[in-house]
Structure 1
Amino acid sequence: MTLLESRRFRAAGAGLNYAHRAGDGPALCLLHGLGARWQTFRPLVRSLGPNWNVYAPDLRGHGHSDWVGGRYGLTDFTADIAEFLTEVVAEPVVLVGHSLGGWVAAMVTATMPDSVRAVVIVDSALYPLRREQRDAMTFYANPSLAMRSIAVSLRLADPELKQRWVEGRNQREQDPDEMLARLRCPVLLVQGDAAAGGLMAPDHVERAMSLLGNGTHVFVPGAGHAVHADAPAAVAAALRRFLAAEVDRTTVKGEIG
């Protein structure tokens, strides 16, 4: 399988590092979560196989992309990725966003719907979290408690980013109901298991599905917040079924075993 190659793109607001692997299949853009970097998607890319035309940027302030102090709002991330899709991908794309990346994917789609074929939102906390959920994710706010799997990513990330998690800014910067109601392309919600650290609560899913014009939902038992890394084969299978259903104009819902 061809390896992902590291490249550079200069957006108006920040220089972005990204990985690319050419393929004959659909264009797929992978957006990582807070404190992570594009490498978090390696297990999913392996599970998807070689045919996808894969793009995976580091969001500003993350990985090897530029730090831009004071400019880490949702609109800043969204502007970078909208420009990236226009200038680099330059074809309708399937956007896959994990956590913070799910918010960015949804906002990009609402901003430029003709450029996005479908959206996959992976265990994003679309609505305010319960106290126990926030407490379970303190490793994002305090790198000294970071899991080994994201320790390198957190060292590379701008320390200012941790304030996004501490302050719970996403819901204040963008109304999730208004954002989700604007999405008209097919949307897949991938929910992790709360018992393993998943943050997309059942009531989040129910509320989001009531707002989406073309929504599908899958639950991945045993997978934590990083569903795509914990259960890459299951997420890859769900993505394939979802896109097949898009083509066939059918709806696929249910649980991944």
Structure 2
Amino acid sequence: MTGPAPWAFAEPWGGRGWVTDIDGPVHWIDFGGEGDAPPIVFVHGLGGSHLNWSLVGRALAQGRRAVALDLRGFGLTPGFPRSTTIRANVRLVNRFIATVVKEPAVLVGNSMGGVISVLQTHNNPDSVAGLVLVDPALPPTSTRPDLRVAAMFMTYMTPGVGELYMRFAQSRMSSRQLVQRMNDLCFGDPSRADAKMLDASVAMTEERRRIPGKEQSFLNASRSLMRFLARGDRYRDILKGLQAPVLLISGDVDRLVPIALARQVAAANPAWDSVFLTGVGHTPQLETPGAVVDAVTDWLARTPTIAGK
């Protein structure tokens, strides 16, 4: 069952909101588009939402449909009391493709959404026509992590401490401060942030304050992600076994996923296409949306199985 969403945060960028019952309400955005090419499904990262794709959604809805869902526990899709682990959100994406999209899709996943998109492609290959990984979370190696990022995830992983930190941040920081903190972490150059997108993100962060259990939903997803990444050999084997065409896009000043990791994965998978963006951080679809649109559009046009007619 699907009905119009009561929110309109993505409307300025041509996104129309819907809510579908998939074992509970799931919020998603339709950026329009039509044609015979496989549709695009955007999958956001940890702490993200459908808004992460609003600056590129309409531009990529050319000759194909383009939609973005809010994962369980994020954006406007409630989590508690349902699971928000990686595996639970893979199941959600699988059911979303089956019930809403209804045909094999090109998954475009950022950060944690990249992991979820990889696992969906691995588990249900017939549901995925192509895969775009935008600064995906990758298995760690001996590469030295950013100290701020390492400390942040150590806090999230520690029982009790993570919960205390999340409650403190929610109670002591304004919605605009929370959004700005995220941009400072994810952008190579925070001054590139789109002002209208900042305002929309602040408004949605304010709306999310009403969602019960959102802090625990975030921590459960974060802990699940860290446990999965710790199984580096298994993850690398899954990446090597992907049969769908893959485009990897990574910013070379990403603080969360060092560019060295992206280059290693690209070298280990020479059949993939790779684009490395200079001076760009963890969310290039927000920081340099034009570069992401150009890279994805070019790749789609050059890939016969997903180019359309």
What amino acid sits opposite 2:216 in the alignment? Answer: E
Report the more deviating stretch, 111-120 or 66-75.
Answer: 66-75
**Deviation per CA, 1:177-231, whole angstroms, max 9, x where unpaired?**
132122111111110131xx44332332233224437311101112221110101
What pairs up with 1:70-89 in 2 under 5 angstroms?
A: 71-89=83-101
CA 1:153 to 1:178, structure 2 compared with 1: closer, same or farther past 3 Å? farther
DSSP 3-state at the match of 1:71: coil
Residue of 180, 187, 192 corresponding to 2:239: 180
**Cα-to-partner distance string for 1:147-206 (whole Å, 9 max, x where unaligned):** 334555555271114424478334147832132122111111110131xx4433233223
Q: Which residue of 2 aligns with 1:169?
A: 227
**Kept in 1: contact 2:73–2:218 (CA 8 A):** no
Matched, 1:212 2:227: no
Normalised to the residue count of structure 1, the TM-score between the two structures is 0.82
Q: Are 1:22 and 2:59 counterparts?
A: no
Distance change (3 Å), C-alpha of 1:56 and 1:248: closer
Q: Which runs of 5+ in 1 are unaligned?
A: 250-257
Do the aligned partners of 2:252 and 2:276 also contact (CA within 8 Å) in 1? yes
* CA gap 1:122/1:133 in 2 versus in 1, 3 angstroms: farther
Give the aligned partner of residue 199 of structure 1: 256
In the alignment, what sits opposite 2:71? 59
Measured after TM superposition, the shift of residue 248 of structure 1 is 8.7
Deviation at 1:10, TM superposition (A): 1.9
Residue 275 of structure 2 aligns to a residue in which SS? strand
What one-letter code is carried by the residue in structure 2 that aligns with 1:222? G
Pick one of 60, 74, 78 that aligns with 1:48: 60
Q: Give the Cα–Cα distance (whole angstroms) in 1 for the partners of residues 255 and 64 of structure 2.
A: 27
Q: Which residue of 1 aligns with 2:280?
A: 223
Q: CA deviation at 1:17?
A: 0.7
Letter of the 1:183 partner, please give it. Answer: L
User: Bigger CA drift: 164-173 or 122-131?
Assistant: 164-173
Distance (whole Å) between structure 2 residues aligned to residue 5 and residue 177 of structure 1: 37
Cα distance in 1, alignment partners of residues 76 and 103 from structure 2:
25
Name whichever of 207-216 and 239-248 sits farther off. 207-216
Q: For structure 2, list consecutive stretches of 5 or more residues without a partner in the other structure.
A: 1-11, 157-165, 181-197
Q: Which moved more, 1:178-187 or 1:161-170?
A: 161-170
Which of 149, 159, 181 aligns to 2:215? It is 159
Q: Distance in 1 between matches of 2:230 and 2:204?
A: 26
Which amino acid is the alignment partner of residue 42 of structure 1?
S
Verify the 8 A CA contact 1:47 1:233 in the aligned structure 2.
no
- Structure 1 vs Structure 2: percent identity of aligned residues? 25
SS of the residue 1:219 aligns to: strand
Whether 2:111 is the aligned partner of 1:134: answer no
Cα separation, partners in 2 of 1:80 and 1:70, compared to 1, 3 Å: closer
2:136 match: secondary structure: coil
Amino acid across the alignment from 2:250: Q
Q: Distance in 1 between matches of 2:70 and 2:217?
A: 13
C-alpha distance in 2 between matches for 1:24 and 1:70? 33
1:235 aligned to 2:292? yes
Larger Cα-atom Rg: 2
Aligned residues: 246
1:98 to 102, 106, 110: 110
Q: Which has the higher contact order (CA 8 A, sep 6+)?
A: 2
Report the counterpart of residue 252 of structure 1 in structure 2. Answer: none
What's the CA shift string for 1:51-98, capped at 9, x where partnerless? 431111100011221223461211100000001101111112111011
Contact 2:79 2:217 in 1 (8 A): no
Matched, 1:147 2:179: yes
- What amino acid does structure 1 have at the position aligned with 2:53? F
| Regions of 4+ moved over 6 Å | none
Please, which of 125, 132, 155 is the counterpart of residue 137 of structure 2?
A: 125
Structure 1 range deviating more: 232-241 or 51-60: 51-60
Whole-Å Cα distance in 2 between the matches of residues 127 and 82 of structure 1?
A: 23
